[in-house]
Structure 1
């Protein structure tokens, strides 16, 4: 006998193919049948509803959040049944004692507060700690190349050639321990200090391995296509899959210009036989460290060195000139302007009233010129500040969404103070509501494919992303007309609406629109 039958729904199976009517039979955590199903212990009437695979978000930063009470509600409400953390080179493991304090300071702006009880010394220890917890959905990890490099040699500039044997050993151990792939954060310290060839030497163990490499590229503004060419060269030489994280072109001078070229480069590489793909989040604003406004050479040496640099009047003058005229780095403040950068996570009492203010507003309130305000806030907060920056345009987002090799991701940060980005709560709902139902950018089968089978393929997640016999029974049931993103810029921490049922590993985590309390997730 089947455990569950979902009867009478319209199935969108994740392949991109046309919808069809079928029952879905579930037994022992797997989809046992698609079509006509026999008797079951329990049934769910899905008439008038769509039945899809559970959605996958392969780019989140919930490395610390998965250990917090209440984790999973925001994800399940938008139909997520699997997530992958450890992105942008910034995984919470593996690292030991040598650079622990500096790593935790650097990661904290991305992950939020880090519980000291979370084991970080190895990927195995971290994943074992996850397995020991009740998980409301499936969770996987990438090993961050930046974390591994910082653990080996701190935040020193230059290539890491002197530490390559140890760096290689730690990468290999993390993969053996269960990491799904390697993530790179070439826009962040310390990986921004690699030369292109130095990066290839650091990744040498991956050559011909088939291990996916997920890349936050070196540049995402004026030089985004040059940065993409660097990674396509890496894909050719390493002969392993390369996945471009949150593809974008920052700043109005790059909108509607760079992304058509980038997509053409990716398609050409695929036509040559390279296993390359990308993903995109469906918002015109990103969210990251305020440090990301600085030139990469200002990041050398770690937080203490950065703070000393920012307090030096001569260095401030250099920074003022670089931001005003520099084109040799992702100069976000110049590309989008201070009015399009909002402060979102601050800690010191005197700065809390700046939360949610644009940088231009914050500078006026503090009576400072913007660059002096930037230096003052970063230095006083020991660099632990986040921002939301309005950087891209809807037309480019739509172009990427239409690409047949592009997945949907959220790139969610999990601050424990201040304002989160609404994408934490609404990304996948937004795709259904805004880009399918309202704007008709994608058909529903196309959208579901980009949230299920394509991300599963990118990270080689076996059993995920399709409605078919033998696949894992991660299943969503919903009425498209009822799906609604409630999160806003002003009030982001609002759960989405519209999921009638969300099955995780064959058990309903949401049933008839209500949480069941089931914790049937597994470590991927």
Structure 2
């Protein structure tokens, strides 16, 4: 049996014990009358406070002036008054949560509204991950400021756009030395404009074809600016003729160590039955590297189904090389298709078969159905059905969910590690989308309720730290992630007794319950359980500037 971490006081404390509950720092001075009276804009009173540092909850009030926290303590004793008072009696007050691997499209609605995230208490997201972020960071920041965003946002500059900018569609090969230098210039621009660091998606095109040496060379640019290396590593366990999960972990650590940066493994876990048993060894490798001073973190997902594009999950990497027209031509060439079909068969086997593939985005006639079911309806094999689907949509956007690809045991094995953060790896779907992954709507809430309250695997202070101050510290954002005077007022207030992630695979578009208030930079994003529509989020540069 695993030991619980940071055993907290009971959530519902009898009245006779209230006086013995832990109290906030500096209360003695306040009660002695030495603290000067002050007036704040907003005052959260009567709540149980988890400040995000990992310790037990305390009774404390929280004052907000402008966009900053200006007071933490006992307001009555300190003679603090406010224009607006928020009654948090019986509620839990925490820093706003961080989603450290987020695909939200912030330039327009619904992404800029981020409703599934703020209704879980998320106030900060990190985008540009999986190697997808371009180097137009200043332009993105300007767009977010002018158009408004509901959450704070940070971004990486990505390997994919760098390769595409330099190599175009001729990416199915290693880059030349001259091309690598041009990519380094691409990454440097993004870093100069405030990117967190350099991200890769080495399981995807075009990064799949890069050498380790190329990635190290690009990561060294991020290191010049104190940046971080974020990776969707090359082989999480199901890549066709891949390098293997453990070798993929080793490669990522080599890139970080030789490049001179900290490392974060995106949505870290092993995929597929072949790799599940290798997780303890992967953890050993990571903790050995941490022991010798390498700053390594991971981000975990509570759900065991993954989601990606069809070409990302089910196609050999060479198939879409050269662009959509090249893919469509290959699908219609009998000789090329024969090769592709054999490889897709093997990929499907690695991923559990066609019954484990559910279409989440595409024509409505296919969504929320398995590839096996669609193939039966067409009267063809799953691989032939896949070919017809891509041709019918002319290579348009098709997304799928891979059922049970993560091991629930490994999810929990990782969840107890103090170097694991949290992500849902999702985005707000368009309003006309017929199906989506429930992780976007309930990934944080369900992680808390399942691991803390139902399974008692970890404590709430431990998990809240992993969602707040831990990422803020790792990503070197010094003024967010804690409830502390001088920090930005990103705050979530929960009714723990009602906390519930309602999103399911059958009905994924259901908002979480139990989130009473959410403040982003001191303004309500959620008030009394209702989304306000206020877009108070800010772009955040590397270093918190």
Q: Is the pair's TM-score, using the shorter chain for normalization, greater than 0.5?
A: yes
Shift of 1:414: 4.3
Match of 2:374 in 1: 362
Q: 1:32 aligns with which of 65, 70, 75?
A: 70
Superposed CA deviations along residues 486-513 of structure 1, whole A, max 9, x for unmatched, are 2121221221111111111112222222
Q: Conserved in 1, the CA contact under 8 Å of 2:199 and 2:231?
A: yes
What does 1:27-176 correspond to in 2, within 5 Å? 27-37=65-75, 38-63=80-105, 66-68=108-110, 71-91=113-133, 93-94=134-135, 122-155=136-169, 156-161=171-176, 162-176=178-192
Q: CA deviation at 1:123?
A: 2.3
Per the TM alignment, residue 356 of structure 1 is displaced from its structure 2 partner at its CA by 0.9
Seen in structure 2, the aligned counterparts of structure 1 residues 217 and 315 have a Cα distance that, compared at 3 Å, is same
Q: 1:271 aligns with which of 278, 286, 291?
A: 291
Q: Tell which deviates more after alignment, 263-272 or 482-491.
A: 482-491
RMSD value over aligned CA atoms? 1.8
Q: 2:524 aligns with which of 494, 508, 522?
A: 508
Q: Pick from 469, 491, 494: which aligns with 1:478?
A: 494
Q: Which SS does the other structure have where 2:143 is aligned? A: helix
Indicate yes or no: 2:362 matched with 1:346. yes
- The 3-state SS of whatever aligns with 2:318 is helix
Shift of 1:383: 4.8
Residue of structure 2 equivalent to 1:218: 234
- 1:279-298 aligned within 5 A: 279-292=299-312, 293-298=314-319
Query: Are the aligned partners of 2:175 and 2:214 in contact in 1 as well (CA < 8 Å)?
Result: yes
- Paired with 2:316 and 2:474, the residues of 1 have a C-alpha distance of 31
The partner residue of 1:16 within 54, 66, 73 is 54
Q: Distance in 2 between matches of 1:517 and 1:205?
A: 39
Paired residue secondary structure (1:477) = strand
Asked whether the 8 Å contact 1:207–1:237 carries over to 2, the reply is no
Determine if contact 1:291/1:378 at 8 Å carries over to the other structure.
no
Match of 2:273 in 1: 252
**Contact persistence 2:100–2:299 (CA under 8 A):** no
Alignment pair present for 1:235 and 2:251? no
Cα deviation for residue 295 of structure 1 reads 2.0
2-side partners of 1:265 and 1:332: how far apart? 29
Q: Which range is displaced more, 12-21 or 457-466? A: 457-466
Deviations 1:26-83 (A, max 9, x none): 1121111221231121111212111100001121111356444772221111001111
The offset of 1:304, in angstroms, is: 1.9
In structure 2, the CA distance between the partners of 1:378 and 1:72, relative to structure 1 (3 Å rule), is: same
* Inter-partner Cα distance in structure 1 for 2:323 and 2:127: 23
Residue 4 of structure 2 corresponds to which residue in structure 1?
none
Asked whether the equivalents of residues 186 and 218 of structure 1 are also in contact (C-alpha less than 8 Å), the reply is yes
With over 3 angstroms needed to count, the CA separation of the structure-2 counterparts of 1:75 and 1:32, relative to structure 1, is: same
User: Using the alignment, how far apart are the partners of 2:224 and 2:218 within structure 1?
Assistant: 14
Does the CA-based 8 Å contact 1:323-1:334 persist in structure 2?
no
- In the alignment, the residues of structure 2 paired with residue 486 and residue 185 of structure 1 have an alpha-carbon distance, to the nearest angstrom, of 31
Q: CA 1:189 to 1:354, structure 2 compared with 1: closer, same or farther past 3 Å?
A: same
Shift in Å, 1:220: 0.6
Shift of 1:315: 2.2
Residue 221 of structure 1: SS of its match in structure 2? coil
Q: 1:69 to 1:303 in 2, by over 3 A?
A: closer
Residue 374 of structure 1: CA displacement? 1.7
Moved more, 354-363 or 59-68: 59-68
Whether the aligned pair in 1 keeps the contact of 2:112 and 2:148 (CA below 8 Å) is no
Contact residue 307 and residue 437 of structure 2 kept, 8 A = yes
Q: Is 1:398 matched with 2:412?
A: yes
Give 1:119's aligned residue.
Answer: none
Rg comparison, structure with higher value: 2
Are 1:374 and 2:386 matched, yes or no? yes
Measure the CA separation in 1 of the matches of 2:59 and 2:266: 35
- The residue that corresponds to 1:197 in the other structure is 213
Q: Report how many residues are paired.
A: 486
Q: Counterparts of 2:449 and 2:291 in 1: how far apart (Å)?
A: 33
For the residue of structure 2 that corresponds to 1:278, the secondary structure is: strand
Measured against aligned partners, the alpha-carbon deviations of 1:226-248 in whole angstroms (never above 9, x if no partner) come to 10100111111111111100111
Query: 1:444-474: per-residue Cα shift (whole Å, max 9, x none)?
Result: 1111011111222332223121112221111
Shift of 1:214: 0.8
In the alignment, the residues of structure 1 paired with residue 218 and residue 174 of structure 2 have an alpha-carbon distance, to the nearest angstrom, of 9
**For residues 388 and 89 of structure 1, what CA distance do their matches in structure 2 show?**
20
Which of 441, 452, 457 does residue 441 from structure 1 map onto? 457
CA distance in 2, matches of 1:455, 1:183: 16
* Cα distance in 2 between the residues matched to 1:209 and 1:174: 11
How high is the TM-score relative to the length of structure 1? 0.89
Per-residue deviation, residues 101-129 of structure 1 (Å, max 9, x unmatched) = xxxxxxxxxxxxxxxxxxxxx32222211
Residues 488 and 129 from structure 1, CA distance in 2 versus in 1: closer, same or farther, beyond 3 angstroms? same
